[in-house]
Amino acid sequence: MEIIPAIDIIDGNCVRLTKGDYTQKTIYNEDPLEVALQFEDAGLQRLHLVDLDGAKAGEVKNWKVLEKIAGKTSLVIDFSGGISSRNSLEIAFNSGAAFASIGSIAIRDEATLTSWLEAFGANKFIIGADVKQEQIVISGWTETTSISVFDLINKYKDKGIKQFFCTDISKDGVLAGPSTDLYKKILNQYPSISLIASGGVSSIKDLEELSAAGCSGAIIGKAIYENRISLRDLKVFAC
């Protein structure tokens, strides 16, 4: 299982939210590049970079942060937040994103996303399933839809998407453990997908449980910033 550290950006700062609430924001570092370099120095190879300003605004805002990290590290970056048009998608790729993580537009405009998959290749995309009680949440976690995570995965699996990450926002940022039972349920139904767990990881034990459940990756944020899991721990786990 691959360890994928997360950097969430608001106003150019590295932050974390609690349960996706923009009013419950903690700034951990004013220089996201410094954080990314620490991840790289620990031997980690991936990065989940989230433009929270972009997610809220519906257009990419913090592309310069992406460009800076991509230019000064060798991390494989998946970028999300505000990718709502072909122009914003191209900004993300041209700024150094290896993958575009798509959330809201997968719900709101299937035709547009399908055209992107055809133009850029489905292997360049990760579908981000942010959920609350198994229902998809969009627009920076501010709007709950009537679509289930299972319906979303089924639809885009059939369009060639192989990677999905699932965040239970009730778990995100509270260090209460991941939604392992939900991930097991998803993988039981769709065993061929690559499922990346996100939200709630607070210990190495959590990571071991996610690996045993069959997750291909785990996104970790607050547990690192709150020193619940050390970068040394992650390096050993990744090896």
CA–CA dist 96, 209 (Å, integer)? 32
Q: 227's torsion region: left (phi>0), alpha (psi -120 to 50) or beta?
A: left
* Catalytically annotated residue among 51, 53, 78, 130: 130
Closest CA to 217 of 81, 76, 51, 36: 76
* Catalytically annotated residue among 8, 78, 172, 206: 8
8 is catalytic: yes
| Residues paired with 27 in a beta bridge | 15
181 is catalytic: no
Q: Do the Cβ atoms of 224 and 36 come closer than 8 Å? A: no
CA–CA dist 59, 49 (Å, integer)? 15
User: What residues act catalytically?
Assistant: 8, 130
